[in-house]
A and B are shown apart, each in its own frame.
Chain A
Amino acid sequence: MSLHLTARSLMVPTEIVSDTDRCGTVVPRIREDGSLKVVVVTGREGTPVGILERIEILTEMANPLAFAVFQNRPVSSLMNEEFFTFPVDGDMADLSALINDSAESIDTGGVVLLEEGRCAGVLLYSDFLGYMVRQDAERARELAEAHEVVMESVNYASRIQQGLLGNKDKMRASFRDIGIVWEPRDVVGGDIFWQSPKREDGMFWVALIDCTGHGVPGAMVSMLVASALNRLWETQRDLTPGALLGKLGDLVRVALNQDSEDAASNDGFDAAIVRVEPTRGVVTYAGARIGLFVVPRDHEAVVRLNGFKMALGYKGTKPHTPLPETELQMQDIAAVVMATDGVFDQPGGANGRAYGPTRLSDFLGAHRVQGASEIAASLRQELTQWRGEQSRRDDLSALVLGF
Chain B
Amino acid sequence: MTDMSRLIIAAGVRTPKVTFAFDKGEFCLEGESYPEDVRAFYDAPMGQFYDWLAASSAPVRFEFKLVYFNSSTAKVIMDLMERLEEAASGGRECVIDWHYAEDDDNIKELGEEFAEDLTSARFQLVEMS
A contact set with B: CB distance below 8 Å: 210, 212-213, 215, 266, 270, 309, 311, 314, 341, 344-347, 351-358, 393-394
Interface size of B by CB at 8 A reads: 19
The answer to whether B67 and A353 have CB atoms under 8 Å apart is yes
Selected A-B contacts with CB under 8 Å, 6 pairs = A212-B72, A311-B71, A353-B101, A353-B103, A358-B105, A393-B32
Chain A proximity mask over B98-117: 1 for CB below 8 Å, otherwise 0: 00010111110100010010
B contact set with A: CB distance below 8 Å: 32, 34, 36, 67-72, 75, 101, 103-107, 109, 113, 116
Q: Which residue on chain A has the smallest CB distance to residue B14?
A: A393
Q: Which 10 A-B pairs have the closest CB atoms?
A: A356-B106, A354-B106, A353-B104, A356-B105, A358-B105, A347-B68, A344-B106, A354-B104, A309-B113, A353-B103
Chain B residues near A270 (CB, 8 Å)?
71
Chain B residues near A356 (CB, 8 Å)?
104-106, 109
Q: How far, in angstroms, from A266 to B75 measured CA to CA in the complex?
A: 10
Chain A residues near B101 (CB, 8 Å)?
351, 353
Chain B residues near A309 (CB, 8 Å)?
113, 116
Chain B residues near A213 (CB, 8 Å)?
72
- Please give the distance in Å from A248's CB to the nearest CB on chain B: 17
Q: Taking A355-B106, A357-B106, A394-B34 as contacts, is the C-beta distance between A347 and B67 under 8 angstroms?
A: yes
How many pairs, one residue from A and one from B, have CB atoms within 8 Å of each other in the complex? Answer: 49
The answer to whether A354 and B72 have CB atoms under 8 Å apart is no
Chain A residues near B70 (CB, 8 Å)?
345, 393-394
Q: Which residue on chain B has the smallest CB distance to residue A215?
A: B36
Q: How far, in angstroms, from A393 to B106 measured CA to CA in the complex?
A: 15
Q: Which residue on chain A has the smallest CB distance to residue B117?
A: A309
- Please give the distance in Å from B29's CB to the nearest CB on chain A: 16
The answer to whether B75 and A354 have CB atoms under 8 Å apart is no
Q: Taking A213-B72, A309-B116 as contacts, is the C-beta distance between A354 and B107 under 8 angstroms?
A: yes
Q: How far, in angstroms, from A345 to B106 measured CA to CA in the complex?
A: 7
Q: How far, in angstroms, from A393 to B71 measured CA to CA in the complex?
A: 11
